């Protein structure tokens, strides 16, 4: 069975890729993912905002209350060197590259144009095989138009793509007025892959404490429908590879995404739930399905049920009233 696929210009042994999660926070974790059969590993995201807060917090606490009272002019030793999270992240990339043979794709979430590029360059320098730009932001400024936000995203991708030599993937949200148009524009801006879609953790209200709290929910298989639809629609219309992410929990889910047109399928929630070894299970399921359905390679599968190749292309656009449509068609016959 030929499971190989290509993603960001690399040939992967399997289309099942570990997406950004705490499992890639250590070299051992990354090795376990490789051992389980991951085609590539996307590392956990480096958040610029988090780095900023980390530095400011450190600076605040090192300074707070100092040079005020004569017996205690400071409260902490002053280390000769700090290893900030970005330094540790870059170190992890280098170490991971030394220990695994599958591609290591870094993930970055920036907040300022200059720093997107700066960190991207550092990541390239550290030896990453590719870079996934995690375009996560919640625009809350009522004076900012959708078009402006879209342009900012495009500008970011353009800037990073022209600044680094490694292939760049863009992980994006589905919340654009015209997803297809944006996909095309990212493609044109130089993205070598689109990762569909970023999942936004939504805050929750705790009714007991009456507080707003982050409440991280792992994805469920239901989440796969949205990326599957758009991958199917976009297949053949853009040059960039498409990575499916969200709700892929096993080999059968992966099979669906490949049929829709994905180059790779990414897993995080299922791995957090079942452990890294679940990649091997999923791979087995995929192979079983392929054998049952007499597919011999992933290439053969890719896009076979995309909108372009589906028996009923409209199905991807009219899911809301498909039942009515089907009934109508039946009556017409």
Applying CB under 8 A, the residues found at the interface with other proteins are: 51-52, 54-84, 88, 210
Q: Are 255 and 244 in contact (CB under 8 A)?
A: no
Nearest approach in angstroms of CB 290 to other proteins is: 41
Among residues 320, 199, 175, 196, the alpha carbon closest in space to that of 260 is found at 196
Cβ closest to other proteins, residue 115 vs residue 137: 115
Nearest approach in angstroms of CB 51 to other proteins is: 7
Nearest approach in angstroms of CB 54 to other proteins is: 7
Cβ closest to other proteins, residue 59 vs residue 148: 59
Peptide bond between residue 99 and the one before it cis (omega within 30 degrees of 0): no
9's torsion region: left (phi>0), alpha (psi -120 to 50) or beta? left
- Per residue, the 3-state secondary structure of 14-54, as one string, reads CCEEECCCHHHCCHHHHHHHHHCCCCCEEEEEEEHHHHHHH
Nearest approach in angstroms of CB 12 to other proteins is: 30
Q: What is the spatial distance between Cα 32 and Cα 25, in angstroms, rounded to a whole number? A: 12
Cβ closest to other proteins, residue 54 vs residue 285: 54
Cβ closest to other proteins, residue 80 vs residue 332: 80
Nearest approach in angstroms of CB 58 to other proteins is: 6
DSSP symbol at 104: E
Among residues 164, 196, 199, 204, the alpha carbon closest in space to that of 180 is found at 196
Cβ closest to other proteins, residue 60 vs residue 318: 60
Tokens of 273: 């739930």
Q: 225-260: string of b/e by CB count within 10 Å (b at 16+)?
A: ebbbbbbbbbbeebebbbbbbbbbbbbebbbbbbbb
Q: What is the spatial distance between Cα 259 and Cα 228, in angstroms, rounded to a whole number? A: 9
At 85, give phi and psi (nearest 5°). -60, -35
Cβ closest to other proteins, residue 88 vs residue 225: 88
Nearest approach in angstroms of CB 249 to other proteins is: 26
Cβ closest to other proteins, residue 5 vs residue 86: 86
Among residues 35, 11, 15, 31, the alpha carbon closest in space to that of 97 is found at 31
Nearest approach in angstroms of CB 312 to other proteins is: 51
């Amino acid at each position: 069975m030929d499971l190989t696929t290509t993603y960001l210009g690399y040939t992967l042994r399997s289309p099942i890729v570990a997406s950004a999660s705490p499992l890639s926070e250590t070299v051992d974790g990354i090795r376990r993912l490789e051992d389980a059969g991951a085609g590539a590993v996307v590392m956990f995201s480096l958040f610029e905002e988090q780095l900023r807060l980390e530095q400011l917090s450190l600076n605040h606490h090192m300074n707070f209350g100092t040079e005020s009272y004569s017996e205690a002019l400071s409260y902490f030793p002053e280390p000769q060197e700090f290893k900030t999270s970005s330094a540790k992240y870059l170190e992890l990339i280098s170490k991971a590259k030394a220990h695994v043979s599958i591609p290591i794709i870094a993930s970055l979430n920036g907040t300022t144009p200059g720093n997107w590029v700066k960190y991207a360059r550092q990541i390239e320098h550290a030896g990453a095989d590719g870079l996934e730009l995690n375009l996560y932001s919640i625009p809350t400024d009522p004076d900012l138009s959708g078009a402006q936000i879209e342009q900012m995203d495009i500008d970011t991708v353009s800037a990073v793509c022209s600044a680094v030599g490694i292939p760049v993937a863009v992980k994006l949200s589905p919340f654009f007025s015209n997803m297809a148009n944006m996909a095309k524009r990212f493609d044109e801006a130089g993205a070598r892959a689109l990762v569909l879609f970023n999942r936004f953790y939504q805050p929750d209200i705790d009714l007991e404490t009456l507080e707003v709290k982050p409440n991280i929910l792992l994805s469920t298989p239901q989440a796969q429908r949205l990326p599957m639809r758009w991958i199917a629609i976009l297949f053949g219309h853009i040059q960039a590879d498409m990575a499916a992410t969200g709700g892929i929990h096993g080999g059968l889910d992966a099979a669906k995404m490949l049929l829709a047109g994905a180059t790779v399928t990414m897993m995080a929630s299922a791995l957090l739930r079942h452990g890294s070894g679940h990649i091997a299970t999923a791979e087995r399921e995929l192979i079983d399905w392929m054998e049952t359905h007499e597919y011999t390679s992933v290439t053969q599968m890719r896009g076979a049920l995309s909108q372009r190749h589906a028996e009923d292309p409209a199905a991807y656009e009219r899911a809301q009233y498909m039942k009515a449509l089907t009934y109508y068609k039946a009556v017409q016959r």
